[in-house]
Amino acid sequence: MEQWLQNAGLSLAPQKTEAVHVSSHQVLETATIQVGGMAITSQRVIKYLGVMIDAWLSFCEQQGYIQGKVVALTRGLGRILLSIRGARQNRRSLLVSVASAQILYSAPIWAEAMNTSSYRKGVDEAYRLGAIRLASAFKTVCSNVILVIAAMAPLEERARDFKKLNETHARYMGAAGALDITTKEEAKERSLKAWQECWNISTKGRWTYTLSLNLRKWVLQSHKQIDIYLTQVLSGHDWFRQYL
């Protein structure tokens, strides 16, 4: 690597060099390499282009890193997105999408980590806070209900869609350099179908389920405006006799 850099008229900064030893062993293994006369010892996790790469490629550290960033951002949004007399849904959706974009950054790389419930627990909670801010809901509303009301697909489904689109990107590149619209629609339909199946068998939020059976119709409605009062009716969480 050093020889290649020299031939290209570049130089390597050993003091900025980091290394991680990828291994399947449960016990952390370290390695030491020589870079420009300096001994670089491998670390348990390093940050590269905004992605936390750990020695086991589990991306557990990545989930914790995302959670910390997004929770702080969502709390900041909570101070400007007031539940009563606050911004309308389209503006709320735009601001919350910023938090969603931070969560889904580099999703094709770590999407498999979402299959482990302990890894995604924290980042799911951060994603849920964004849905609560979007729908002006109480924090007592369960996750699957608030995601339906806010029309935000579950995080694991969105991460899988990003990975699938990334895998088929080269095959479906058009002349203008954009992904074929058919592929995006197929991914969206697959996500809605998987979400609907989970929503059908869920044991929570059955009151909301009776009001919104078809997720596709609800999510794709362009004229709906969600506010604190409609959210209370849809979720059943307010000073209603049955809830009390």
pTM above 0.75, yes or no: yes
* 20 has pLDDT over 90: yes
* 170 has pLDDT over 70: no
d(CA 214, CA 212): 6
* 76 has pLDDT over 50: yes
Q: Residue 171's pLDDT is what?
A: 60
Q: Residue 175's pLDDT is what?
A: 45
Q: Residue 148's pLDDT is what?
A: 94
Q: Residue 147's pLDDT is what?
A: 94
* 8 has pLDDT over 90: yes
Mean pLDDT of the chain: 85
For the chain, the structural domain boundaries read 2-43, 60-202
Q: 172: pLDDT confidence band, cut at 50, 70 and 90?
A: low
Q: 9: pLDDT confidence band, cut at 50, 70 and 90?
A: very high
Arithmetic mean of pLDDT, 157-165: 86
